[in-house]
Each structure stands twice: as structure tokens, then as C-alpha cells.
A and B are shown apart, each in its own frame.
Chain A
Amino acid sequence: MTIALSIKDLRKVYGNGFEALKGISFDVQQGDFFALLGPNGAGKSTTLGIVSSLVNKTSGQVEIFGFDLEKDKAAAKRSLGVVPQEFNFNMFEKVGDIVRTQAGYYGIPVELAKQRAEFYLKKLGLWDKRDSRAQMLSGGMKRRLMIARALVHEPKLLILDEPTAGVDIELRRSMWAFLQEINEAGTTIILTTHYLEEAESLCRNIAIIDHGSIIHNTSIKSLLQQLSTETFILDVQPDQAESVVIDGYSVRLEDPHTLVVQVNKGQGLNGLFAQLKNQNIEVTSMRNKSNRLEELFVSMVEKNLEKKDA
């Protein structure tokens, strides 16, 4: 199988002496939808910055579709599309010019550049804005403009640094759908995020980075299997005055009509319901706590911290 991105022993020490990456390694397979997860300041943007030639590495190796970023610069760069974390276009330029100009930087002839710009601007719902200056766009539109710009040379690998940060929920969903569409059409995608829900619903494989080190690199599925407990939220009647005790389950009363129950893997729910019935507590509705990955993530980062303290 072809490897879209290969990172080996990548280190970055910034000018002020701060070591932002402590020798990380991971591979991303062609066709994958990959998430680089980590808390703020973990080193996600630094990693993507080096891959996009915007940050100088201190040591290590980056290969994009087998092309070394140092020795085969042009070929490596051609395979890559970049959507950075911060807006970085000329605010005074027109939307259409921004996308066509970017095509020119990849050596795409004017006519083809025009067609491509039209295609991607339409796809991202910006065609009506082609003659507006970039500064006139809303935040969500600016972000879509960066995606159109990154796709105009039709890269095989698209990397996005926190693409949905500060984007409202509706737009976030439509952006997810778009990314899934181009991933299904064959583009390998890597994104960084700290919305775990995003990684959970989009990505197949992940790496978790913290304090400049990769602390986990696996598939979402196997990561979720590592969860030893699952949390359920139960709405109950009548209101409960004080804590509810149920043998074998850890239960917390969040408010008089909401119970938070931890269920161990393989434990089943019958015992829980039987005891609730005995105590005359009726369950009016129940849901799975959505951010399972969040819990895991927090516990991992904490463990990583403990290891360091030890």
C-alpha cells in the first residue's frame, strides 16, 4: 500500500529554545482520513507547518507520496494541499483571483486555472462571491475559500489545521460532508482538531500528540474498544432527593431527575433496570454520553502527565 505521508523522528526547536516536537514518527496511508489530535500547544500546527514547508524542521524526515520534502521538493509539494489554521490570503484581493493565482503558482495554465477555480468555488458555494474582495466574506466563507485554494491543483493529500474551529454547527456539518466526499473520491485527508466528535465521526485513524510526543497512534475503532466503561445518562421520575445507590454500578445524581451511570464493559444493563424498578424509579429516557473519546483523551493526557511527573 502507498504511504501518503511518512514522518520520521521529526524534531523542532523554535528560535527561543522551546522544543515543540521531540522526535515524532507516524505514517498515513493513501486514502486514509486521519486525525492528529491533541490539546492546545501540543505541536499539531508545528507538525503540519513543517509538512507544508512553512516551518523549518530541526531534524528528521518528511516524505509525501514517497517524495522527500528536502530532496524532491517540487514533487512533494505538488502532491500536497494546505489549509492553514489562520486566514492567510490577501484580504484586498478578489476571491476568484486568489484561487486562480494559487493555480498559477503550481504552473497550471491560465485557461485550466480558470476552469478549476470555477469548479471549486462552485463546489464550496463561493462562485457568487468570485468578484468580492476576500475581506468581505464571512468567517465560514473565508475558511471555504482556503479549502478551494488548497484544492485547485488537485493534490492527492489534503491537510487541514483545525478547519472547523470557530465555525458554526451547520457549516461544520456541511464541511464534514464535503471532506468525506472528496475522501471517498480518493483524496487522502489529514486534519488536526481538538473537537473529538469531529475525529470520531470523520476519521479512520488517529495519532494523539501531547507536549511534542506521539502518545497514541491507532484506529478510532480500537481506541474506542479500549474504553473500559461506558457512561449513560438517565432521566428519571420522580425527582430524587438524595443519592441513589445501585449495587455493581457507580451512580451519580447530577440533578434530582438525572442519573449518570457508569457501566463496565460486558456488564449489561438488566441489573441496573431491575434495581431501579425495585426502588420505584422510572426511567423516562436514556442516552449514551456522546463524547466518549473525550474521556479517553483526557485520561490519556493525564496519564502522560503522571508519567512525566514520576
Chain B
Amino acid sequence: MLSITNLTKIFNPGSVNEKAALTGISLEVEPGDVVTVIGGNGAGKSTLLNMIAGVFPPDKGKIIIDGQRVEHLPEHVRASYIGRVFQDPMMGTAASMTIEENLAMALRRGARRRLRRGITNGDREFFREKLSLLGLGLENRLSTKVGLLSGGQRQALTLLMATLVPPKLLLLDEHTAALDPNTGQKVLELTEQFVKENNLTTLMVTHNMEDALRVGNRTIMMHDGKIILDLSGEKRKNTGITDLLEMFKKASGQTLANDRMLLAN
């Protein structure tokens, strides 16, 4: 479903701020794979997701989504393949617009915007039904402005928007990190539910090691713009959090003792 070859990104090349964020990443993700992505601050996790989504063009390398070369396509064109949820709950929704308007825009993801009514009564029925899955009572608040919702509610809504039209690829970047633990857990449960129902191919960045090993069927670890560990199958099943930290130390030559990855648990 996703095939990345030798992907490289250097920010501010030739300046004192030069930063090699990705150094020749290659990754094959099969349809239906749910891959969790871990790594320290600045490892390049967000950059990897941004490159897949097309936020900035790569310096080198190939990205293929469902058989189609996309690395030269602008972000809004790639949007027809990709659903995204960001870390910041404010980033995934338009605050001044209503819940139903936000959902309607998500329903047209990747389609041409036309001069026809943005929301039909049929859409509303569909939205109510989908919103009730969140269990937050939002199905009765279709015309509430999203800015009035809490961070957790907005993030749950963003998740629903990202999967409303099942994308070929779901990109989640620490999407529960800014929420309080209970809300984060709830949003994560919803994530697993939606992913499972639609059999979505997913990349999920997380700083929670427990979630990283429990959710999905594969875990990759990044460091300094490279993938330093790729766990799946039996090997992943037999790996615990302490093993993971040990592996990080061995592969990167650094310790994670002071990293928020540990503190997060």
C-alpha cells in the first residue's frame, strides 16, 4: 500500500541550521498493516509523515501509495489518499465552522469543490449516525461551532473526519499526546475501532511504548532520520517495554533514560 525508497530530507541545506531530518528512509507497508512509530524527539517521525502527506517535497527518494508515484504531487492532491490527525487538537478542524460543516468538508476529501449545497439532509443523517459512534453526544449538536468543543472532543471529531471517507492511508502523529490520559485513552480506543472496521493501513506515531507494542501489528523505531528497528510478528509479541528501551540503546548508542518516552508511562 505504501512503498518508500531512499527518502531524504535536509532542512536549511548549506546554512548553520542545516538539519538532515530524514537520511535515506526505505519502508514497505502492506495493505491493512498498522504500524506504530516510536523514537526520541527530533528523530524525524513527524517529518516522515509530513513527507508522505506532501507538506514539503523530498530532496531525494520515491513514495508510492497504492501503486501511484506521489512524491511530486502537492499536498491537496495527495489528500484523496490520505487521512490525517495531528498532535494539536486545534489543527484538524475549523473552529469558526459548525460540526456538520467540518464533517461535510471531510466528506468531500479529494473531490472537486463545486457550487452546490455543502450539506444535504442525507448528509446530516449520515453525520448523526457516525457521530453517535464517538459516544460524546455530538450527534445532537450538529450546528454547534467546533471552537466551543473541548480538545478531546475536537480530536475525536478530527479522527472521524480523517476516516469518514476511508483513506488508503491513515497518518496519526502523536494524536493523543496533547489530551489528558483518560481522553487520550478514549480517542485511542476509537482509533483502533475505526481502523479495524475499515481495515485501514495506518502509520501511528506515539511516545507511549505500551501503546506502541499493543496497537497494530508492527513497530518501527526511528533515530536521527533513520529507521533503526523494525519489529513484527513473533518477535514483536515477545518484546516488552524494557526490551524496547534496551534495543534503542544498542541501536542508537544512546540512552532514553531521560526521554519523555519513559516519562510518558
* A and B are interacting partners: no
Interface residues of B (CB under 8 A from A): none
